[in-house]
A and B are shown apart, each in its own frame.
Chain A
């Protein structure tokens, strides 16, 4: 599973000729030339900053919408809850290109093309079904008695969510947030289509080093390594939290 990443990392330190050599080269003299070239040709930090802002912004926005929605559907379900949840999930099955033109026109009319705000709204909405579903599952695992006890003690709905429920499901929210950040970070379709220069994130940065006519595999590997490095580090650092969240309540 990890081999492609190791191979990409190794290729980023090869020359273009070494990167395409057959049989593949395992021993070579590493060079930093590709990284120098990538830094010289593109504003990596600008792309990276856009990725960070858009991923965090979209995750916060999605959580702000999803927590009350999941709370209501998990703890106060109606006969339409199941249908609503399935409908939300079904929107993820629509190929994004099918709605590209209308969304592009809306973004143009609202001056959101090539803005971080536009991407934050788009990413938050496109990840919302998954975020709601995950939170719904975590909230369902919460003992109802605790909620009812706090209501009897006079807590408002907002207090129930913020003081009682959220601390109980923190691992679940953390893993949902992490998943949302990863999805936003890797999202390519909307980021490529709705951004140009000012709001372009790292997916656009990688796309600028891919070429059907011309061998730039070593440079592409260097650009890809730089693009995935932050999210890879975040994933490693939060591995334990992520596993804990994803298996939350699984042994009950």
Chain B
């Protein structure tokens, strides 16, 4: 009698423990291809653990405002946040995120690119685990280059890019030499403009946090940007962000496009791109320096300190950013769809290398993007296409509006930069950076 009794008791206890440990977690995330794949595959984790997930999927800027409000007020609405490499160190230092250093050995932290880990750490602790990472590089149409007898170098300069754009523009055929971001915003036009300024030898601030927006490199860079787009860009360029340029490039209207490496999978997808078999890739252009000419960004997953289900949340993070998850995506959705830019093992996988001809160029771009050394001269900040301080969202967007105004012809480049300099200086003084 005793053995069946004990067996029954232990079964009941195990069942009770299972019920007690099952949790419902809420994940706030952005709407992009990789995250949608994660959402679809997450049922596997739910089956393994007995936990369930509520998804809150929002547009990037809405999500940023939503989770910032929640985390700053300790609202506790979310157990996992999708945040970028810009917010992670700032929020980590504030104590708003839980450190994520305690995953099992099989997680293999050292397999994650060191630059990616560093970008998501503060005070030596990892505060978010990378879901995917991206840099920027140059997309070009091999067929148009061949027809014009041009050859794209492995590391083009901005001067060469301008020459190519001039030769490949044929506005009568709606064929434009270059497509670049023109829509105002710190994550829109300024993402590209920052890398351009870095390449021209400029920087946002000197070592005492004085803005440098009226310096010679800034003026040269913005004049280059405005002149190039006026000569060889598509019409209505101030309305073009990533999506608009992706649409233009995918439908054959751009000879070159400098943007996020994550677009490679999209322009290579024959169901979404009319130029899938005609696309070439090369490094982002440089000028007087190669520092900070390709940006760095990572969408990562973090657990807010206000979460009441931190254990279940961490368990999900360990699953969704693991080597096994990469393998699961490759086997389920095809290898071009695996989250790029985070793990060494992904780039050692022959299946991925075979399916994604852009893989090696993307890896080189991500490994070259050093957020701790973003400019030609020393600077007091980290970040390539952003400055990792809380004030930058406002500053970047305001300066982006002045740059867009210069591009639209509403003011001269000198006036735009003078106004941008004054606005930035005022913000930095109010924030106490400049004494």
The residues of A with any CB-CB pair to B shorter than 8 Å are 15-17, 20-22, 41-42, 100-101, 104-105, 108, 113-114, 192-193, 196-198, 200, 204, 207-216
Contact = CB atoms under 8 A, between A and B. Distances in A.
A212 B251 contact: no
A212 B59 CA distance: 7
Interface in B37-64: 39, 54-62
B435 interface: no
Contact of B274 (A17, A104, A196, A212): A17
B69 A104 contact: yes
Contacts of B54: 196-198
A159 to B, nearest CB: 46
Given A193-B65, A196-B77, A208 B272 contact: no
Interface stretch (B24-32, B357-365, B399-407): B24-32
Contacts of B58: 192, 204, 207-208
A193 B69 contact: yes
B30 A215 contact: no
Contact of B253 (A22, A41, A108, A211): A22
A209 B58 CA distance: 7
B66 A211 contact: no
A100 B69 contact: yes
Q: Majority SS of interface residues in chain B?
A: mixed
B341 to A, nearest CB: 13
A213 B272 contact: no
B243 A212 contact: yes
B66 A212 contact: no
B317 interface: no
A210 B263 CA distance: 17
- Among B188, B241, B243, the most chain A Cβ lie within 10 Å of the Cβ of B243
Contacts of A114: 77
A211 B77 contact: no
A216 B57 CA distance: 14
Contacts of B36: 41
Given A22-B253, A212-B242, 11 more contacts: A17-B271, A41-B36, A101-B73, A104-B69, A114-B77, A207-B57, A208-B57, A208-B58, A213-B242, A213-B260, A215-B250
Contacts, number: 103
A193 to B, nearest CB: 6
B269 to A, nearest CB: 10
A30 to B, nearest CB: 17
Contact of B250 (A20, A108, A207, A213): A20
B66 A192 contact: yes
Nearest to A23: B174
15 contacts: A15-B271, A17-B272, A17-B274, A22-B253, A41-B36, A41-B39, A192-B62, A193-B66, A210-B31, A210-B59, A211-B30, A211-B32, A211-B59, A214-B243, A214-B266
A42 B241 CA distance: 26
A113 B306 CA distance: 14
Contacts of A197: 26, 54-56
Contact of B243 (A196, A207, A215): A215
A193 B78 CA distance: 12
A117 to B, nearest CB: 16
B246 interface: yes
A207 B59 contact: yes
Given A104-B75, A197-B56, A213 B39 contact: no
Given A22-B174, A192-B66, A108 B59 contact: no
A23 B178 CA distance: 19
B380 interface: no
A20 B69 contact: no
B312 to A, nearest CB: 15
B27 to A, nearest CB: 9
A211 B69 contact: no
B155 to A, nearest CB: 25
B243 A213 contact: yes
A192 B65 CA distance: 10
Given A193-B65, A212-B243, A215-B243, A21 B251 contact: yes
B251 A22 contact: yes
B247 interface: yes
A101 B188 CA distance: 27
A204 B58 CA distance: 7
Contact of B187 (A104, A198, A208, A212): A212
B262 interface: yes
Contacts of A104: 69-70, 73, 75
